[in-house]
Amino acid sequence: MNTKKHTAIIKQESKRLGFDFCGISKATFLEEEAPRLEKWLKENRHGKMDYMANHFDKRLDPRLLVDGAKSVVSLLYNYYPSLQQTENAPKLSKYAYGNDYHEVIKNKLKELVNSLQEQIGAINGRVFTDSAPVMDKAWAKKSGLGWIGKNSNLINKQQGSFFFIAELIIDLELEYDGPIDDYCGTCTKCLDACPTEAIIAPYVVDGSKCISYLTIELKENIPTEFKGKMDNWVFGCDVCQDVCPWNRFSKPHNEPLFNNTNGLLDYSAKEWKEITAEVFDKLFKNSAVKRTKYSGLKRNIDFIKAD
């Protein structure tokens, strides 16, 4: 079996399809992450995200997700936009400006698998992008694509952290990459800037306090303790990434489907506050924002009115 040749094909094809970085790790049990995940769950840092406590073993061992799995291929796809929203408007996380990344990335992963099967032969595997119980940041770290920063995001030394992470778990032995060093140093910008103090310690995020959780995952009313602390965010939050010094190396993406084409970035604060269900359906038809539904987005907009 030509592991060197197969590894080269995978990295070449991933680059052709627009993935910025590709790293590969041996499919094995995540020993280092197991106690951290267990502690995080026991301390209820996942809030109402009950799914995080499901499939604990599968989260830590990709061989339980794919029979005969030998390799985890980790991929990064840049989403850093060239344009920003109108100043003072309710804010969306940058990843939600264009089409839903789940669909865009999954289509590219399927194309990657088809190409690999044409060039290498029959491959058994599954593709993932923020789906199923896969610890994507842990695998990207093991594959040398970056380190886990103090804000718990994967940080790439060349281009920062504005990336979608995807995986291909396959039954093919490959050449494996190793992890790189942590370059956060003594910096605490992300901890200092978090509006809700969700980063409770370096490398530890209380998910139940995170604005992304409060505006997307939480289906109940946002607790009043967060009044005045939402920093105008209504879907996700980029604060800990925006202040990260490594994101000075971020470069605008080259994916047309991630460009905003419906005028959303020009919406004023007034237009946001008067948004109707009909406008919501039109604006976010192909967007990740549809996950929060009109009622959820309206709840978030109403909550920040008094901020």
Residues whose CB is less than 8 angstroms from the CB of residue 244 and which lie 6 or more positions away in sequence, other chains included: 149, 151, 153, 155, 160, 161, 189, 190
DSSP 188: -
Q: Which residues contact 230 (CB under 8 A, 6 or more apart)?
A: 195, 196, 211, 214, 215, 222, 300, 303, 304, 307
Residues in CB range of 162: below 8 A, 6 or more apart: 78, 79, 80, 94, 95, 241, 247, 250
Determine the Cα–Cα distance for residues 264 and 108; give it in Å rounded to an integer.
25
Per-residue model confidence as pLDDT tens digits over 42-71: 665 655 555 555 556 677 888 988 999 999
Question: Under a CB-based contact definition with an 8 Å cutoff, are residues 138 and 29 in contact?
Answer: no
Tokens of 216: 């997307």
The catalytically annotated residue of 61, 130, 171, 307 is: 130
Cα 221 from Cα 160, distance rounded (Å): 33
Q: What is the domain partition of the chain in residue ranges? A: 1-307
Quick count: other Cβ atoms within 10 Å of Cβ 265? 16
Q: Report the alpha-carbon angle 263-265-271, nearest 5.
A: 80
Token readout for 118 is 């044409």
Q: Dig out the tokens for 26 from the structure.
A: 């041996």
pLDDT, tens digit (0-9, with 9 covering 90-100), for 193-237: 999 999 999 999 998 999 999 999 899 999 999 999 999 999 999
Residue type, 118: E
Task: Tell me the percentage of the chain whose pLDDT exceeds 70.
Answer: 92
Give tens-digit pLDDT for 262-301. Answer: 888 999 989 999 999 999 999 999 999 999 999 999 999 9
AA letter at 25? S
33 φ, ψ to 5°? -80, -25
Sequence-separated contacts (24+) of 263-271 with Cβ below 8 Å: 264/85, 264/92, 264/97, 265/83, 265/84, 265/85, 265/86, 265/97, 266/86, 267/85, 267/86, 267/89, 268/86, 268/89, 269/86, 269/88, 269/89, 269/90
130 catalytic per annotation: yes
Q: Write down the pLDDT at residue 32.
A: 79
pTM of the model: 0.92
Q: Flag whether pLDDT at 35 surpasses 70.
A: no
Contact of 203 with 187, CB cutoff 8 Å: no
Q: Is pLDDT at 113 greater than 60 in this prediction?
A: yes
- Give pLDDT tens digits for 131-149: 777 889 999 999 999 999 9
The shares of helix, strand and coil residues in the chain, as percent rounded to the nearest 5, are: 40, 15, 45
